[in-house]
């Protein structure tokens, strides 16, 4: 009986899985758009956003933040919606940590 209670307690107190949101490089999205969207969607400073944008353009992707699944998916979707609205093909990936 104690084992079942311990298992239930562990399930209730387990931390949610975390997911990383990456912005992916392409040949068309501007540096300025990347910096602006990282500042507005991910609440990074201009300096942090510039560093992430550098990673996007040199490494192929840049880590914008780590969140629960729902938050990560929402942020990735917001980036892609804004990119389409402004005519950019910017894509994001959400990867489990």
Alpha carbon distance 54, 72 (integer Å): 21
| Position 1 pLDDT exceeds 60 | no
Which pLDDT does position 85 carry in this prediction?
98
| Position 79 pLDDT exceeds 60 | yes
Which pLDDT does position 41 carry in this prediction?
98
The pair of structure tokens assigned to 82 is 């804004």
Q: In what order do the strands lie in the sheet with 61-67?
A: 61-67, 19-24, 91-96
pLDDT, tens only, 5-55: 666 666 677 889 999 999 999 999 999 999 999 999 999 999 999 999 999
Q: CB under 8 Å to 74, separation ≥6 — which residues?
A: none
Structural domains of the chain sorted by starting position, each given as residue range(s) with its CATH number in brackets: 15-96 (3.30.1390.10)
> What pTM does this model have?
0.86
């Amino acid at each position: 009986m104690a084992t079942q209670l311990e298992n239930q307690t562990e399930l209730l107190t387990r931390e949610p899985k975390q997911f990383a949101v990456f912005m992916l490089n392409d040949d068309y999205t501007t540096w300025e758009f990347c910096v602006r969207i990282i500042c507005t969607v991910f609440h990074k400073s201009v300096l942090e956003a510039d560093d992430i944008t550098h990673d996007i353009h040199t490494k192929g992707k840049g880590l914008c933040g780590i969140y629960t699944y729902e938050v990560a998916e929402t942020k990735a979707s917001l980036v892609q919606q804004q990119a389409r609205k402004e005519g950019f093909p910017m894509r994001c990936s959400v990867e489990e940590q």
